[in-house]
């Protein structure tokens, strides 16, 4: 498994154009919300142990980081489908997504692209196996999460 292969997978077959992805089966707004929450639950499940390693709470394991980062990166590619128009706070109640996702779509797209790019780099860096580099790239990836949440997610 080389980095090209991973990136081809992440950006090719699985990629969907942000905000323009329309699910064929025309899901209901609540289904879209359930989906995006699920995507971020999988992201969190995989991101959390990397954070625990970076903080020294559990033993560092570059291979485990690579495996978890891979899922984070894949889910970052799956996320845009979860933000189709009509799935915002005007349509559903139990969402923390702010209306700005749709009213400031370009900025949201940039924030999402940052997440996708930095998590893809985290995969590469994890495979290279240098702990210091992994920690630095984990930080950069985490920053993309925070930046997007700050702007587009309710507290």
Query: Site residues (CB under 8 A) for a copy of itself?
Result: 1, 5-6, 8-9, 12-14, 16, 23-27, 31, 34-35, 37-39, 41-42, 45, 48-49, 51-53, 57-59, 61, 64, 66-67, 70-71, 74, 78, 81
Residue for token pair 């969402």? 95
Torsion of CA 93, 97, 103, 109, to 10 degrees: -150
> Whose Cβ is closer to a copy of itself: residue 31's or residue 100's?
31
Identify the burial level of 32 via C-beta atoms within 10 angstroms of its C-beta, where 0-12 means exposed, 13-18 middle and 19 or more buried. Answer: buried
Rounded least distance, CB 9 to a copy of itself, Å: 6
> Whose Cβ is closer to a copy of itself: residue 29's or residue 51's?
51
> Whose Cβ is closer to a copy of itself: residue 2's or residue 106's?
2
> Whose Cβ is closer to a copy of itself: residue 64's or residue 136's?
64
Rounded least distance, CB 59 to a copy of itself, Å: 8
Work out whether the CA dihedral 77, 82, 86, 87 comes out positive or negative. Answer: negative
Residue for token pair 């210091």? 132
> Whose Cβ is closer to a copy of itself: residue 13's or residue 106's?
13
Q: What is the CA 85 to chain-centroid distance, rounded?
A: 19
Nearest-angstrom CA–CA distance, 94 and 106: 24
Residue 94, classed as helix, strand or coil, is coil
Rounded least distance, CB 94 to a copy of itself, Å: 14
Rounded least distance, CB 116 to a copy of itself, Å: 15
């Amino acid at each position: 498994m080389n980095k090209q292969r991973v990136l081809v997978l992440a950006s090719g077959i699985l990629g969907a154009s942000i905000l323009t992805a329309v699910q064929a089966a025309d899901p209901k707004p609540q289904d879209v919300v359930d989906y995006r929450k699920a995507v971020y639950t999988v992201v969190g499940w995989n991101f959390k142990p990397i954070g625990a390693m970076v903080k020294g709470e559990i033993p560092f394991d570059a291979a485990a980081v690579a495996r978890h980062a891979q899922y984070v990166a894949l889910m970052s590619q799956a996320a845009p489908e979860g933000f189709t128009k009509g799935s915002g706070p005007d349509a559903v109640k139990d969402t923390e997504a702010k209306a700005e996702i749709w009213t400031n779509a370009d900025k949201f797209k940039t924030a999402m692209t940052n997440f996708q790019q930095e998590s893809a780099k985290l995969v590469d860096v994890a495979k290279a196996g240098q702990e210091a580099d992994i920690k630095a790239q984990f930080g950069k990836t985490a920053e993309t999460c925070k930046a997007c949440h700050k702007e587009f997610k309710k507290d």
